[in-house]
Amino acid sequence: MREVRVEKVTLNIGVGEGGEKLSKAEALLERLSGQKPFRTLARKTVREFGMRKGEPVGVKVTLRGERAEEMLAKLLQAVDNKLPSRCFNGSGNFSFGIKEYIDIPGVRYDPELGMFGMDVCVSLERPGYRVKRRRHRPGKIPASHALTREEAINFVTQKLGVTVVE
């Protein structure tokens, strides 16, 4: 029950506007992940950026299981298997960014799509975390079973072969 595992990997491209640019980002995520992406909407109106509340401004896709682990290995190679320690939060999750999608091994530039960067968010968990997500009688994960930042860093260095830089 103490084993740490990858719960999910979320890829996000924030475009900031709808239209053709958003559909190109959607096509890119679909090609990378093999799943249909979900459009994210603006939470509030920002007149300076020309955004209205409820308008689509980005796309994201969530990967789970083996597909998530395979994709995570490729995405970590895009950042040379090095992550700064500030990428890890207190509950055992970590995030990092990829400046250009062509940094991912095996992905070639497509002039029709253009150039996009993306955010990668990885959630780690232990067996038994379903207790907090279940619909009937959800409970809290005790502090003794919750993941810490240090345990997440150890998992990433040992299982995924990533160097964590201070």
pLDDT over 90 (residue 50): no
pTM: predicted TM-score of the whole model, two decimal places: 0.91
**Residue 126, φ and ψ in degrees, nearest 5:** -115, 160
pLDDT over 90 (residue 51): no
Full set of structural domains in the chain with CATH: 5-165 (3.30.1440.10)
Mean pLDDT, rounded, for 21-34: 94
**pLDDT confidence of residue 98:** 95
pLDDT over 90 (residue 49): no
What mean pLDDT value characterizes the chain?
94
**Interior/surface letters 87-117, b for 16+ CB within 10 angstroms, e for the rest:** bbeeebbbbbebeebeebeeeeeeeeeeebe
- What pLDDT, in 10s, does the model give residues 99-122? 999 999 999 999 999 999 999 999
